[in-house]
Amino acid sequence: MFRERFSYDPLVLPFLLGLIFIVTYLALGAIRMIKNLPAEDKIRLGKSFFSKQILLSIREIFNECLLHLRIFKKNPVLGYMHMSIALGWFMMIVLAHVEVKLYAPSRFNLPYYPIFFRYFVRETQETLDGAVFFFLMDFFLLMVLSGVGIAMYKRFNSKATGLRRTTRLKWNDRIALYALWSIFPLRLLAESFTSGISGGSFLTRGFGMVFETFVSNDLHVRPTWWAYSLALGTFFFTLPFSRFMHIPTEMLLILFRNAGIKHRTTGTGIAQTEIYSCSRCGICIDACQMVSAARLENKATVYFIRELREGGRHNAWDMASACLMCRRCVEACPVKIESTLIRSALRQDWKMLRREPLSFLPVNHTGPARVIYFAGCMSHLTPGIEQSMVRIFEKTGTDFTFMDREGGICCGRPMMLAGETRAARELIDRNKKIILHSGADTLVTSCPICYRVFAEEYQLPLKVQHHSQFILQMMEQGKISPEFREGTRVVYHDPCELGRNSGIYEEPRKVIAAMARIEPVAEEREMGLCCGGHVGSISLTHHQRRRIAVQACNILLAPSPDAIVTACPLCKKTLMDATAEVPVVDIAQMVDNPELLRKHPNPVLQ
């Protein structure tokens, strides 16, 4: 039923050399990245191989590297595209190996043999096994081809796949991409030409028969198999220098993450692994408001990461300093590359601020009280919020002290974001002393930027609350019960630092829902918009920030609400400057003075 024709032909060489090259390259690369891990992380990684984490990793590798479930969730068409190519190709390779194992076990040790099996053997599909294999091979080939078809279409018409923008590619990516695209049509051609001799199924046999009607000799069989091998070889040789490095690297990244390895500074293995795991799919381009609103196309994360990978540190710095650190791109990224952490780390490397001793800062103790309130610098710029909070504390009979009433010390987070970790530590230490001295059991802050650093960096032995959480708690205890305003419709703007970056989505919504109807917004919760005011950016101009703010306002105002409610002084201030149509109020102000929700069109826009 099956007869071997040859076991070697020079046409396997491009493939074989490519394979040897890529395997060596990847092995060395993996060793290098693991070597770059700090010692404790190496131990973590080692341990993870012998625990159930490895099973988790295997499952995740299967889900993400083959099925691409996360991309699927973001964008089904893109998801199918990735899945059909990855899974289809993988299955073709597996099937080919099974075939060889079954029918030519003596050749199993020739690495090229399964790939060129159809070229080497003459098989018929008369046997049941044969028919099944032929069918499956054709089925998966068709699957891959459909994915490649979408990929080609997407390249020329990105909107069709639901992406507004697609990544601009450099030549290295293009060569690899075209090589990858050509592998499968060439395989189809090659197999179709040999299908008369070696057999085939619905696809290859069908094509084969069509070809037979106008090409009568088999002179083109060898050239097409050559071309197939060359395409494979080219792909392997260009892979390390192209975005397709993400395929092998993502597996390593999954192993690292599941071992619990965290970011430190650049140059450590995890950051590098993340950089190589970027598939340049470009989903982050659409997520980035610097691109969509401020038209800074080249600042998108995909280009930032490419710049880092290709050694353009200077440009990378430029990109790192512009970013607002809102983390929308991370939320959108199917690989979950923590690009803002990579940026912070880069900022730390640069040390651009002048470092002056902070010893002049006073440590003014307050208290004692049960609750210590820290309004934050941003709230000082929106004193309406502070005033409302003081009234809420008084109304609820809370025993509180106002830590920075007369101006306090910065929480440290802006310094942290700028990469000035040491200066930030100094501020943190000073504030911590005041907080602990007050004897309070709860720290309430009005600013989500401060909230995050209090919660993540201060390691306080007390409860840290954003004021939306505190207000909700007071409502639940019946200490304040604002009235529901029939007919008032508002939208809620999720502050980046409170929502996406601290996971507080529900508390503010519950507070608002007790007072007015909340209209859904096109982009909210995890994909909540950045207002453009974030202290995370070091270099965006005011004009660029404003464009982002205007974009956010336009989306927030789509349901024509009576007011925009938010829970961050900075968001409030930024949005307020960008819209004159409706009032922008903080949740604390709304609870304190519901009249603020009354829509008052600002005459400027009339």
Partner 1 sequence: MATDGQKKVVVIGGGIAGMEAAAQLARMGYDTTIVEKQARTGGNVANWDHLFPEGRLAGEVVQQLYQKLSPVRIITGSSVKKADMLEGQYILTLADGSVLTTDALVVSTGFRTFDAHRKEEYGYGIYDRVITSADLEGMLNEHQPLFPGRHKGPRRVAFIHCVGSRDEKVGNRYCSKACCAMAVKQASKVKELYPDAEVYCFYMDLRMFDRRYEQMYLDAQAKSGVNFIRGRLSEASEDLQGRLVIKAEDTLMSKPLKMTVDMLVLMVGMEPASGARSVAEMLKIPVGHDGFFNATNELLEANCSGTPGVFLAGTCTGPKTIPETIADARAAATAADAYLRKKS
Residues near partner 1 (CB under 8 A):
380-384, 386-387, 405-407, 542-543, 546, 573, 576-577, 602-606
Cβ closer to partner 1: 314 or 542?
Answer: 542
SS (H, E, C) 191-213: HHHHHHHHCCCCCHHHHHHHHHH
Q: What is d(CA 278, CA 245) in angstroms, rounded to the nearest whole number?
A: 8
| Shortest distance, position 542 Cβ to partner 1, whole Å | 4
With CA atoms as reference, report the closest residue to 278 among 298, 258, 305: 305
Q: What is d(CA 232, CA 228) in angstroms, rounded to the nearest whole number?
A: 6
| Shortest distance, position 509 Cβ to partner 1, whole Å | 24
Q: What is d(CA 380, CA 428) in angstroms, rounded to the nearest whole number?
A: 19
Cβ closer to partner 1: 347 or 573?
Answer: 573
Q: What is d(CA 196, CA 118) in angstroms, rounded to the nearest whole number?
A: 11
Sign of CA dihedral 102, 104, 110, 113: negative
Cβ closer to partner 1: 167 or 544?
Answer: 544
What DSSP character marks residue 583?
A: -
| Shortest distance, position 541 Cβ to partner 1, whole Å | 9
Cβ closer to partner 1: 331 or 592?
Answer: 592
Q: What is d(CA 307, CA 346) in angstroms, rounded to the nearest whole number?
A: 13
Q: What residues contact residue 546 under an 8 Å CB cut-off, 6+ apart?
A: 532, 577, 578
| Shortest distance, position 583 Cβ to partner 1, whole Å | 10
Give the 3-state secondary structure of residue 76: helix
Cβ closer to partner 1: 562 or 577?
Answer: 577
With CA atoms as reference, report the closest residue to 25 among 266, 276, 263: 276
| Shortest distance, position 484 Cβ to partner 1, whole Å | 26
Cβ closer to partner 1: 194 or 379?
Answer: 379
Q: Which amino acid is at 500?
A: R
Q: Which residue reads 């179709």 in tokens? A: 192
| Shortest distance, position 543 Cβ to partner 1, whole Å | 8
Cβ closer to partner 1: 127 or 541?
Answer: 541
| Shortest distance, position 71 Cβ to partner 1, whole Å | 40
Residue pair 302/280 in contact (Cβ under 8 Å)? The answer is yes
| Shortest distance, position 369 Cβ to partner 1, whole Å | 16
| Shortest distance, position 235 Cβ to partner 1, whole Å | 51
With CA atoms as reference, report the closest residue to 141 among 99, 183, 108: 183
Residue pair 374/408 in contact (Cβ under 8 Å)? The answer is yes
With CA atoms as reference, report the closest residue to 553 among 579, 585, 519: 579
Sign of CA dihedral 325, 329, 334, 335: negative
| Shortest distance, position 579 Cβ to partner 1, whole Å | 11
| Shortest distance, position 357 Cβ to partner 1, whole Å | 16
Q: Which residue reads 């140059």 in tokens? A: 267
With CA atoms as reference, report the closest residue to 294 among 544, 578, 540, 536: 544
Cβ closer to partner 1: 95 or 578?
Answer: 578
Cβ closer to partner 1: 40 or 406?
Answer: 406
Cβ closer to partner 1: 405 or 437?
Answer: 405
| Shortest distance, position 596 Cβ to partner 1, whole Å | 11
Per-residue b or e along 259-291, where b marks 16 or more CB atoms closer than 10 Å to that residue's CB: bebeebbbebbbbbbbbbbbbbbbbbbbbbbbb
- In the structure encoding, which two tokens stand for residue 9, read together? 């032909």
Q: What residues contact residue 458 under an 8 Å CB cut-off, 6+ apart?
A: 428, 431, 432, 435, 464
Cβ closer to partner 1: 192 or 382?
Answer: 382
